Amino acid sequence: MKKLGTSDIKAIACATYNGTNDVTRPDRTVGICVFTTNKANNIFATGYQKLLRDEAGKFDKDYMKLIERHEVTPLEEREK
């Protein structure tokens, strides 16, 4: 896996989405996260869970064909 720099994250929220009926296929699961390094920021505002789920679904719709063709890949599949 590619090593990334770190930040002093104060809060993080994530959502995953699998656009198939077969949730056992991790290759069809995508996810998004939002985070803040400023504890004064409220990323958990009303409706944040629905927003993240909706955005993860949009990501799946927009990128799944690219993922299937390996044009968009997870970090561990990229050159180290």
Domain ranges of the chain: 11-73
Written as one string, the DSSP assignment of 3-61 is -------SEEEEEEEE-SS-TT-GGGEEEEEEEES-TT--SS-TTHHHHHHHHHHHHHH
Report residue 71's pLDDT band, with 50, 70 and 90 as the boundaries: confident
Q: Is 1 a residue whose pLDDT tops 70?
A: no
Length of the chain: 80
Output the pTM of the full model: 0.71
| Cα 8–Cα 5–Cα 38 angle in degrees, nearest 5 | 25
Per-residue pLDDT tens for 8-39? Answer: 888 999 999 988 888 787 778 888 999 988 88
Report residue 66's pLDDT band, with 50, 70 and 90 as the boundaries: confident
Q: Strand pairing of 29-36 and 11-18?
A: antiparallel
Strand-pair partners of 17: 30
